[in-house]
Structure 1
Amino acid sequence: MALSARLELRQSQSLVMTPQLMQAIKLLQLSNMDLVTYIEQELERNPLLERADDGEADAPILEPTDADLPARADTPDWFETEGAPSSERVSNVLDTDIGNVYPDDTGQPERQALDVGALAGGDWSSVGRGGTGEDYSLESFVAGEISLGDHLAEQLAVAVTDPVLRLIGHDLIDQVDEAGYLRADLAATAERLGASLSQVEKVLALLQTFEPTGICARNLAECLALQLAEKNRLDPAMQTLIAHLELLARRDLAALKRLCGVDDEDLGDMIKEILALDPKPGHAFGSTQVQTVVPDVMVQPAADGGWTVELNTDTLPKVLVNQTYYAEVSKTARDEEKTYLGECFQSANWLTKSLDQRAKTILKVATEIVRQQDGFLTHGVAHLRPLNLRMIADAIGMHESTVSRVTSNKYMATTRGIFELKYFFTSSIASSEGGDAHSAEAVRHRIRQLIDGETADDVLSDDTLVKMLRDDGIDIARRTVAKYREALRIPSSVQRRRLKQLAGA
């Protein structure tokens, strides 16, 4: 076969990731709070963008006509090659299959492991607060929350006058974590500071007398022991109980009674005292700033018995394209200035269209979610239907990747609380009677209801739960029940029976 050169004319379609397309994709997956930050950056960069006033917010954004667009000779090279963007291109650009370009992270967050404090029966977690403002007003100083390190440093300044011991104290305070525990090797600290181990231990003993009680402990047992000693309740039996917290976590009451030498009543009182303590005293001075969840979509009951779905316009940024300023400046601008103005005008025009398309897409997806999950909004979590991205995408005529981006980092405010949009997407569990499938979240809710209604004489095992769920029409395996129960942080039937017997003693 001879080799020769020839010309061929082919026609094909392909997806080109233009800067405008990437901007539309980026805006779609941003939350309202992140979108505000992005718009602020664009307002600083683009002189043709301006923030809409309250009076202009309700007015429609004027779309530029062909006469307003810059002349072809004044446009930049990329504008000539890609062509002028039309309203149809902006409207359809978000419905394109772009899943391979920006893969989605649709996995669920992993469950946190249960610590000894939680196993002992107490929810001993707290949320830290903190942060300072930029204005140094009197109100800011009064309302400001002191950190744990500053609180301990103030007490150290009063309790210690020796500069050497004070230096050791500050070093130890710097190694205290947010929960109030000292995560330091005393021998290594002494060697690093050039001090004796006895000096470091002496300073540590002093720090452990500071407020809050139990601070600077090296483990949970020492933290609880410090608090019990403060209450004058650290007797030999209590010391033995503190030394065997792993037995308490397993609810092995028989072994604890044998080791402590007490009866059921005394052991019950001792455990109640343990549960009343604070295993993380440092959390009262936490410095983690908590960001309030602001809903993107508001759902309210309608007069006709349905639901009204609307965007939270209070958090949506409102921008306009200043066409008057562009028209005035472009008349006297030079060629280079006209090119820059053309780029700014084109970018501002795309941004306003992308914001409008983003709002319409979010509202369309949220409305379909509300329609699919009407039972949950009306009757509660037991009526949550199985739902996935494909069902929503097929119903509204969009691609799954678009629905995935819309539901990321977006929240919906309903009469039952504020939920992330991804909360409404749950896996399905088949019905034992051949009817509609059940939502996994609804099944977990049913398992919790059954366990909450059990008594000390009739504790439900996992096998019993499987039988009761199948009687309710839910075809589920025993290992699935155990997985859901552990995800809900519910102990096994043996542990629950011990706890109920202890509570009734």
Structure 2
Amino acid sequence: MALTTRLMLRQGQSLVMTPQLLQAIKLLQLSNIELATFVEAELERNPLLERAEEEGGRETEAAEPDWSEQAGEGAPDGPSEAWNVEAFSADHSALARDLGAETGNAFDADRTQATVERAELPDGLGLSAQAWTGTPGGDSETANVEAYVAADLTLAEHLAAQLSVAVDDAVARMIGRSLIDHIDESGYLTADVTEIADRLGVASERVEAVLKVVQAFDPVGVGARHLAECLEIQLREKDRFDPAMAALIGHLDLLAKRDYAALRRLCGVDDEDLADMVKEVRRLNPKPGNAFGAAPIQPVVPDIYVRPGSDRSWHVELNSDVLPRLLVNQSYYAKISVKKTADEDKSFISNCLQTANWLTKSLEQRARTILKVATEIVRHQDAFLAQGVAHLRPLTLKTVADAIGMHESTVSRVTSNKYMATPRGLFELKYFFTVSIAASEGGEAHSAEAVRFQIKQMIDQESPNAILSDDAIVLKLKAVNIDIARRTVAKYRESLRIPSSVERRREKQVMTRG
């Protein structure tokens, strides 16, 4: 049978992910910090996008929805489901339902006019508005405060400054600079002394001598090649490195296992002296370089606030401070479009208008979707908000997705990198989703997080003479109608970084004697 080529026409349906839909999916899973960065880039790229804020000394009015909802009164009635954002998944029907294809004026509903208030300067500071917003003498350019802030001092710079004072010889300085270049952020030397000596063409003894000089620098313990040497340097600085302490530092593996009986024999000390030595070691810094050039800690800003209502319900609202407020400059578009311009310019401005309209609608739908998911979470976890983590209920993404009429992958993206501020503290939305653990005598299942909390409470309350084994914890949990296996208790205990019963017994006995 001969093979032939033929031209055939087939008709079918397929799901096409347009750039706009991909952008909407991306927006849904971004954190508020990542979203702010993305919006800033779009503001610079698109001339039709403007921030909804005051201009020229007057207030600009921007339409702003009321991002609040009573958890006890049902989910918010958002816009048409045609704008529900969904990621690409195997379930094409669910994806098409959540993404939709219509681009009508569904977002024009339920809008309320809100005025962006002009920020007032703090009272009692004795500073004029000019001092806060501009340069002296009425200069219109805003002062760059960052230019006057000192940059963070890195560990390498700190060590290099000490090297220039401590060493006069040019060769020793070259060796010292090479050693400093191989010290990591934690303060440890990552290269072998022999390798450095071969590369520089000097004797290993010369490199060792310079390394001793570097190890005398601040912070104490820097330049060590391993943890034991780091601790030894710090103990020598405190004049506490005696033979007993040397034996303890030489057997850190036994200290990690809390094998205090073996340590007592090796160090030749009694229980009281060993307890003092262990406390001394724990006060040392295992990573002396972390204090220099560390990345600034970015505070977590909540996306949702949950407050108790007057009728024992929970009031859920979005944090308006992290919601970007954007406007589409229609007047500028109209002014440009009537002018006789090249086809490329008209195409560019039309694309900018389409992108701006889609972005503003996507941002609004993102906010509404987050609010719907958060409201449903609060509805399920009202006992946790009222009584604490012991009353956290089992919850899955599918449960929330079915309740609000979305696909569970949409809920998964909404709960990523989003935080909720509650009377119980600040929690990531994913914290409220836990697997269920069956009750031993029937009844409502228990949340894994609640069981983990009870295990921690039991261990915290145990006495040195009655240490609970994993089997004992299983029996105590079954007494309160929680059916759990011993291996699950061990897994939860290890996730809490709680040592075994043998190690806890050794540690508490030594601490009690000390």
Give the Cα–Cα distance (whole angstroms) in 1 for the partners of residues 144 and 256 of structure 2.
46
Residue 299 of structure 1 aligns with which residue? 306
Distance 2:37 2:64 in 1: 23
**The one of 72, 78, 92 aligned to 2:82:** 92
SS at match of 2:320: coil
Amino acid at match of 2:156: G
Identity of aligned residues (%): 60
Q: d(CA) in 2 for partners of 1:183 and 1:339? A: 56
Residue 49 of structure 2 corresponds to residue 59 of structure 1: no
Q: 5 Å matches for 1:373-388?
A: 373-388=381-396
> Equivalent residue for 2:365?
357
SS in 2 for 1:192: helix
SS at match of 1:298: strand
Alignment of 1:207-246 (within 5 A): 207-246=214-253
Distance change in 2, residues 1:171/1:352 (3 Å)? same
Q: Write the deviation string for residues 151-171 of structure 1: whole angstroms up to 9, x where unpaired.
A: 111111111010110111111
2:259 to 252, 275, 294: 252
Aligned to 2:181: 174
State the distance in 2 between where 1:134 and 1:184 align: 41
In the other structure, the counterpart of 1:34 is 34
Distance 1:6 1:271 in 2: 82
* Distance in 1, Cα, partners of 2:476 & 2:180: 54
Equivalent residue, structure 1, for 2:130: none
Q: Equivalent residue of 1:464, what SS?
A: helix
Does the CA-based 8 Å contact 1:21-1:93 persist in structure 2? no
In the superposition, relative to structure 1, how do residues 32 and 56 fare at CA in structure 2: closer, same or farther (>3 Å)?
farther
Q: Matched residues in 1 for 2:240 and 2:486: separation?
A: 44
| Equivalent position of 1:153 in the other structure | 160
After the TM superposition, which residues 101-116 of structure 1 pair with which residues of structure 2 at under 5 Å, given as runs? none
SS of equivalent residue, structure 1 residue 444: helix
Shift of 1:355: 1.4
- How far does residue 339 in structure 1 lie from its aligned partner after superposition? 3.3
- Structure 1: runs of 5 or more not aligned: 62-87, 105-132
User: Which residue does 1:129 correspond to in 2?
Assistant: none
Which residue type is aligned with residue 381 of structure 1? V
C-alpha distance in 2, partners of 1:371/1:499? Answer: 43
Q: Matches of 2:7 and 2:146 in 1, distance apart?
A: 76
Question: Helix, strand or coil: the match of 2:26?
Answer: helix
SS in 1 for 2:505: helix
CA distance in 2, matches of 1:8, 1:267: 85
Q: Report deviation, 1:137.
A: 4.2
Tell me if structure 2 keeps the 8 A contact 1:91–1:357.
no
Q: Which residue of 2 aligns with 1:408?
A: 416
Gap change, CA 1:469 and 1:173, over 3 Å in 2: same
Alignment partners' CA distance in 2, 1:421 and 1:288: 25
Change (3 A) 1:56 1:403: farther
Kindly tell me: are residues 469 and 56 of structure 1, through their superposed partners in 2, closer, same or farther at Cα, counting changes over 3 Å?
Answer: farther
Q: Residue 25 of structure 2 contacts residue 87 of structure 2 at CA under 8 Å; is this kept in 1?
A: no
Instruction: State the AA in 1 paired with 2:205.
Output: S
Letter in 1 for 2:487: R
1:442 maps to which residue? Answer: 450
Q: Which residue of 2 aligns with 1:79?
A: none
Is this contact kept in 2: 1:57–1:318, CA < 8 A?
no
Distance in structure 2 (CA, Å) of the matches to 1:421 and 1:470: 29
Unaligned runs of 5+ residues in structure 2 are: 1-5, 66-77, 96-142
Q: Answer yes or no: is 1:467 the counterpart of 2:475.
A: yes
Match for residue 486 of structure 1? 494
Q: 2:352 aligns with which of 344, 347, 353?
A: 344
Identify which range, 43-52 or 242-251, moves more after superposition.
43-52
Instruction: Determine the C-alpha separation between the residues in 2 that align with 1:197 and 1:437.
Output: 66
Which of 473, 489, 509 is the equivalent residue of 1:501? Answer: 509
Deviations along 1:368-402, one digit per CA (max 9) or x if unpaired, are 11111111111111111111110000111111121
CA apart distance, 1:464: 0.1
Shift of 1:6: 13
Q: Equivalents in 1 of 2:294, 2:284: separation in Å?
A: 22
Q: Could you report, residue by residue, the CA deviation over 1:128-170 in whole angstroms, capped at 9, with x for unpaired residues? A: xxxxx985644x12xx432211111111111101011011111
In the TM superposition, what is the alpha-carbon distance from 1:467 to its structure 2 partner? 0.2
Contact 1:175 1:182 in 2 (8 A): yes
Count of aligned pairs: 444
TM-score, normalised with respect to structure 1 = 0.82
CA RMSD of aligned residues (A): 2.7
Q: Please give the residue correspondences for 1:124-139 in structure 2 after superposition, counting only pairs within 5 Å.
A: 137-138=147-148
Match of 2:137 in 1: none
Give 1:15's aligned amino acid: L
